[in-house]
A = this chain, B = another copy of it.
Amino acid sequence: MRLSRYFLPVLKETPAEAQIVSHRLMLRAGMIKQSAAGIYSWLPLGFKVLRKIENIVHEEQMRAGHMPMLMPTIQSADLWRESGRYDAYGDEMLRIKDRGGRDMLFTPTAEELVTDIFRSHVNSYKDMPLTLYQIQWKFRDEVRPRFGVMRGREFYMKDGYNFDLTKEDALHAYNRHLVSYLRTYERMGLQAIPMRADSGPIGGDDTHEFLVLADTGESEVFYDSAVTDLSFGDRDIDYSDVAQCAGVMEEFTTKYARTDETHDEALFHAIPEERRRTARGIEVGQIFYFGTKYSEAMGATVQGPDGKPTPVHMGSHGIGVSRLLGAIIEASHDDNGIIWPEGVTPFHAGIVNLKQGDAEADAACEAIESAMEALGLEPLYDDRNERAGGKFATMDLIGLPWRITVGPRGLKNGVVELTSRRTGESEELPPEAAVAKLAEIYKGHMVKGL
A residues with a Cβ closer than 8 A to B are 5-7, 9, 30, 33, 35-36, 39-44, 46-48, 50-51, 58, 62, 65, 67-76, 79, 91-92, 94, 96, 98-99, 102, 104, 106, 113, 116-117, 120-122, 130, 132, 137, 139, 141, 143, 153-154, 448, 450
Q: Is the interface of A mostly helix, strand, loop or mixed?
A: mixed
Asked if B69 and A42 make an inter-chain contact with CB atoms under 8 angstroms apart, the answer reads yes
Q: CB-CB < 8 A to A73: which residues of B?
A: 73, 106, 137, 154
Asked if B33 and A74 make an inter-chain contact with CB atoms under 8 angstroms apart, the answer reads no
Q: Can you add 9 more A-B contacts, CB < 8 Å, to A9-B120, A39-B74, A62-B450? A: A7-B67, A7-B69, A33-B117, A35-B71, A36-B75, A40-B72, A41-B71, A43-B117, A74-B153
Cα of A20 to Cα of B47 in the assembled complex, Å: 37
Q: CB-CB < 8 A to A94: which residues of B?
A: 74, 96, 98-99
Would you give the shortest CB distance from A16 to chain B, in whole angstroms?
Answer: 15
Would you give the shortest CB distance from A208 to chain B, in whole angstroms?
Answer: 26
Asked if A36 and B74 make an inter-chain contact with CB atoms under 8 angstroms apart, the answer reads yes
Cα of A104 to Cα of B36 in the assembled complex, Å: 9
Q: CB-CB < 8 A to A72: which residues of B?
A: 35-36, 39-41, 137, 154
Q: CB-CB < 8 A to A121: which residues of B?
A: 7, 9, 30, 33
Q: CB-CB < 8 A to A141: which residues of B?
A: 98-99
Q: CB-CB < 8 A to A132: which residues of B?
A: 7, 44
Cα of A166 to Cα of B271 in the assembled complex, Å: 70
Q: Which of A70, A79, A132 has the most CB of B within 10 A?
A: A70
Q: CB-CB < 8 A to A36: which residues of B?
A: 72, 74-76, 102, 104
Contact A99 to B69, CB < 8 A, known contacts A36-B104, A117-B41:
no
Asked if A43 and B69 make an inter-chain contact with CB atoms under 8 angstroms apart, the answer reads yes
Cα of A50 to Cα of B134 in the assembled complex, Å: 13
Asked if B74 and A47 make an inter-chain contact with CB atoms under 8 angstroms apart, the answer reads no
Would you give the shortest CB distance from A325 to chain B, in whole angstroms?
Answer: 12
CB pairs A–B below 8 angstroms (12 shown): A9-B120, A35-B113, A36-B102, A36-B104, A40-B72, A41-B113, A47-B68, A72-B154, A94-B96, A96-B106, A106-B106, A137-B137
Cα of A154 to Cα of B98 in the assembled complex, Å: 12
Q: CB-CB < 8 A to A71: which residues of B?
A: 35, 41-42
Cα of A79 to Cα of B35 in the assembled complex, Å: 9
Q: CB-CB < 8 A to A120: which residues of B?
A: 9, 33
